[in-house]
Amino acid sequence: MPGAVKLGFGSLAMPSKGVLVAFTGEGLRLGEATRAALGPARDLFVRASRAEHFTGKSGSTLDIVAPAGLKVSRLIFIGTGKDAPKPHDLIKLGGIAMGKVPASATEASIWADLPAGLMTPAQAASVALGSALRAYRFDRYKTKRKEGDEEPAQARITVGVADTAGTRRAWHAQLAVADGVMLARDLANEPANVLYPEEFARRARDLKKLGIGIEILDPKAMGKLGMNALLGVGQGSARESRLVVMRWNGKKGGQPLAFIGKGVTFDTGGISIKPAAGMEDMKGDMAGAACVVGLMHALAARKAKVDAVGVIGLVENMPDGNAQRPGDVVISMSGQTIEIVNTDAEGRLVLADLLHYVNKRFKPKFMINLATLTGAIVVALGNEHAGLFSNDDKLAERLAQAGEETGEKVWRMPLAAEYDKLIDSKIADVKNTGGRSAGSITAAQFLQRFVDKTPWAHLDIAGTGMGSPQTDINKSWGSGWGVRLLDRLVRENYEG
């Protein structure tokens, strides 16, 4: 758990101190356990609701300080709306509840009770997941706090449930996912002078303690494999590139699922250098690789019954005298030649070699790659959906369903041969960008050339993986987007 927050489970008994958070439906409908525990204080709840015009609409809150007749210091009600909350709604409610706990609080209770009845263990664990994700913060480099800065929460959070043992079992899997998301956030939030390719690879190696097999390839090893597209991106940096292979064998047999991440630990744009404004955000150009590491952590920590491989390419794109130039031609691992027309279209070069390598070596059931690939996807979809490109309808449908269930939504974009003319090169097999028109699509068309016939999906997370909107479950710059989405995809469709 992040910071000093400690999360556990207990009964639905009225606490003797601290903060109490309860849920109410629209029309001030309370669950039976909540009604019984409040006793005469229900009248206080009704009077305060009328005074504040609180009706229990979804996401609304009512805060009663020092409630008369109760020993708790604060009584907070959160509205759940008219309808029964969906799984993602429960996670959101947990985040709202955690956000309402004052930073000065040392103890807080959240009651897993709804107007329709007591939450199941799985539902209560979802509320706990939302609370854990909301509590995350990245402040390890702050040595001083200004007046008014929110202090890290110090509270011991107890989720009151009907079935303590059952909820703890359900929480085991959710905790694995929470830790995976927070690992991905940590990686995305780190500054590039701390998290460069070699250090990123070292942190990925820590997954060994969960039973994940780790291989790390250096430039010499990648050179022997012919990964000239990947290596070309990093040749202008003083930091050596790395490739990390992570293998989880939870089923031990059959084709593995493959997850592939772009890991540009800092992207200046190379010789085609980016504008100075906002370039500091390019420390997050490895959010795809961060997600893959977080996902592999989640799968191993919850002992997922599946074989999975995670592969990340780690490079730093810098403009020195040895840097790749516009006009250069490189021979990728697949043998296809690539004309470099813009060195800032570097992520697809990394992924081109990774996709071919994974396909050739592991012969996976499917490949899903994640990358903060194009600014064009932000223009198209903003920060609410990731762009989904796929050559397989079933895989695309399953990803879309997992997105609806987790709130990490995707929107399918087109792939069509007609777009290939934009990336056809006059002197090589393909050029690495087709210009401004259909920028996200031509990037996906480029990647598809290195996939062959394997079911594949490309997730462009430029709008969701870094600098994404602040939500009820994320107040961090690095969102850890994709870990929950892909864990749900695996759990619902491929385990067993």
Q: Give kind and range of the element (H or E) at residue 60.
A: none
Annotated catalytic, 348?
yes
Among 74, 348, 409, 431, the active-site one is 348
Is CATH 3.40.220.10 the classification given to domain 6-141+150-163? Answer: yes
Among 274, 305, 365, 412, the active-site one is 274
Q: Give kind and range of the element (H or E) at residue 229.
A: helix 228-234
pTM of whole model > 0.85? yes
Contact of 132 with 7, CB cutoff 8 Å: yes
User: Where do the structural domains in the chain lie, given as residue ranges?
Assistant: 6-141+150-163, 178-493
Q: Give kind and range of the element (H or E) at residue 205.
A: helix 197-205
Indicate the average pLDDT of the chain. 95
Measured N-to-C along each axis, helices 121-135 and 87-100 cross at an angle, to the nearest 10 degrees, of 50
Annotated catalytic, 274?
yes
467 band by pLDDT with thresholds 50, 70 and 90 = confident
pLDDT at 144: 83
Note the pLDDT tens digit of each residue in 72-116.
Answer: 999 999 999 999 999 899 999 999 999 999 988 999 999 999 999
Percentage of the residues of the chain whose pLDDT score is greater than 90 = 93
278 band by pLDDT with thresholds 50, 70 and 90 = very high
Q: What is the mean pLDDT of residues 177-198?
A: 98
Which CATH class for the 178-493 domain? alpha beta
Cα(331)–Cα(429) distance, integer angstroms: 10
Pick from 394, 378, 363: which is nearest to 457 by CA? Answer: 394
- What six digits make up the tokens of 316? 């730093």
Q: What is the mean pLDDT of residues 168-194?
A: 97
pLDDT at 425: 98
Query: In 10 A of CB 15, how many CB atoms?
Result: 20
